[in-house]
Amino acid sequence: MSLTDTNVLKGIAICLMLWHHLFFSHNDALYSDIHIVGEYYLVNQIGIISKVCVTIFLFLSGYGLMIQAESKGIGRLKDFYLRRFKRLFLNYWFVWLIFVPISYFCFDMTFEKSYRQNVTLQLVSDVMEIHHLFFPTKMPSYNPTWWFYSCIVVCYLCFPGCTK
């Protein structure tokens, strides 16, 4: 696949992600939707199917890492991890530092309301973005939509072993 091909697939995945987040509803509060039959509504069903965007992004990320590893090599494992995790966590913390204070001060989204229990432990695990690895369903995250960062961490940790 060329860089253009992967960019086209990323664009499709972004459109699917937008569709999923904008039009999928878990409850009965469906949008003005086209009723198909029974409990099935066209826009909502497309929203469910649009979750495939996660798979597309995961595949493209792995594909890109493999192409890069084949052409340039991984180099020293320490350097690979430093480079990847530095960029990953700097982006994560940048977003955290912007949106958590906004949520806290503008929407009264306190840590106690988000975590409910073990606030310090959960806050530290959320800031380190390992929360979803250790508390996937038992304890809420400050922002559950950041679950994919834990997935990226695991994929990066597994990747060098896959290239041998």
| Per-residue DSSP letter, 117 | S
Look-up of token digits 């409990």: 39
Bridge partners, 37 (sequence order): 40
- Contacts of 158-161 with C-beta under 8 Å, sequence gap 24+, read 159/62, 159/65, 160/74, 160/77, 160/80
How confident is the model over 122-160, as pLDDT tens digits? Answer: 788 888 777 777 766 666 677 777 778 888 888 888 887
When pLDDT is cut at 50, 70 and 90, the band that residue 22 belongs to is: confident
Give the largest Cα separation in the chain, rounded: 57
Residue 6 contacts residue 64 (beta carbons within 8 Å): yes
How confident is the model over 35-73, as pLDDT tens digits? Answer: 777 777 788 888 889 999 999 999 998 898 888 888 877
Residue 34: the pLDDT is 74
Residue 30: the pLDDT is 60
Domain ranges of the chain: 1-73, 75-164
Look-up of token digits 């992967």: 6
Look-up of token digits 């940790």: 157
| Per-residue DSSP letter, 10 | H
How confident is the model over 75-115, as pLDDT tens digits? Answer: 788 888 898 889 988 988 898 889 889 988 998 888 888 77
Q: How far apart are CA 134 and CA 1, in angstroms?
A: 36
Look-up of token digits 């029974």: 38
- C-alpha atoms less than 13 angstroms from C-alpha of 133 in its C-beta half-sphere: 14
For the cut 90, the answer to whether the pLDDT of residue 17 exceeds it is: yes
Residue 12: the pLDDT is 96
